[in-house]
Amino acid sequence: MTHKWFVIAQSDYRARTSSIRSIRRYFPFIMLGILAVFVLYIAPALIDLFTDELVAFLLSQVAVAFVPILFLMFFLIFIWFPITLMLRDVRSEQQVLLLSAPVNPRDILLGEFLGELPLYIIIMTIFTGFITALFDPLGVTNSQKAVIVTSFMITLSSALWIGTVIAALLRTRLGRSSRSKDVAKALSLMLVVPLVAVVYAFLGGNVLERLADPEAGTMIRNILRIFPSSWAAGIVTQFAAHPGTIGLEVVPRLAGSIVFLGGSFWIGMRLAGRAYSAEITTFTAAQVGPDGAFYRFVNYIGGKNSFGILLTSTFKTYVRRFQNLSWIVYIVALAALMNIFLMKPQDLFPVFLTSSFIFPLLAVAVASDMTLRGKETFFLYKKVPSGVGKLIKTRVVQGWLIVPVVAGVLMAVSVKLIPGTTVTSGVIYTGAIILYAAAHTILALGMFLLRPAYDERGSEFMLNMMIPAQGSAFFVLGSLIMFGEKGVFYLVIPVVWAVGIGVLLMGKRRFSRME
Give contact residues for another protein (rule: CB under 8 A).
1-2, 4, 7-8, 10-11, 14-16, 18, 21, 91-104, 278-280, 282-283
Q: Choose between 10 and 177: whose C-beta lies nearer to another protein.
A: 10
Q: Residue 271 CB, nearest distance to another protein (Å)?
A: 18
User: In the complex with another protein, which residue's Cβ is closer, 52 or 279?
Assistant: 279
Minimum distance, C-beta of residue 94 to another protein, in the bound complex (Å):
4
Q: How far apart are CA 146 and CA 458, in angstroms?
A: 41
Q: How far is the CB of 335 from another protein (least distance, A)?
A: 37
Which CB atom, from 44 or from 105, has the smaller least distance to another protein?
105
CA distance 428 to 301: 25
Distance CA(167)–CA(87), nearest Å, equals: 8
In angstroms, the CA 153 to CA 345 distance is 42
Q: Distance (Å, rounded) from C-alpha 225 to C-alpha 218?
A: 11
Task: Calculate the alpha carbon distances from 30 to 9, 102, 210, 248 in Å.
Answer: 20, 36, 44, 38
| Closest approach of another protein to the CB of residue 76, in Å | 28
On whether the CB atoms of residues 322 and 183 are closer than 8 A, the answer is: yes
CB of 515 to another protein, least distance (A): 19
Q: Which is nearer to another protein, 48 or 455 (CB)?
A: 455
Instruction: Name the residue among 207, 249, 253 with its Cα closest to residue 66.
Output: 207
| Residues contacting residue 7 through CB under 8 Å, at least 6 positions apart | 111
* Nearest distance from C-beta of residue 26 to another protein, angstroms: 18
Nearest distance from C-beta of residue 282 to another protein, angstroms:
8
Q: How many CA atoms lie within 13 A of 200 on its CB side?
A: 18
Half-sphere exposure of 231 (CA within 13 A, CB side): 24
Closer to another protein at the Cβ: 175 or 228? 175
Calpha distance 71→69 (Å, rounded): 5
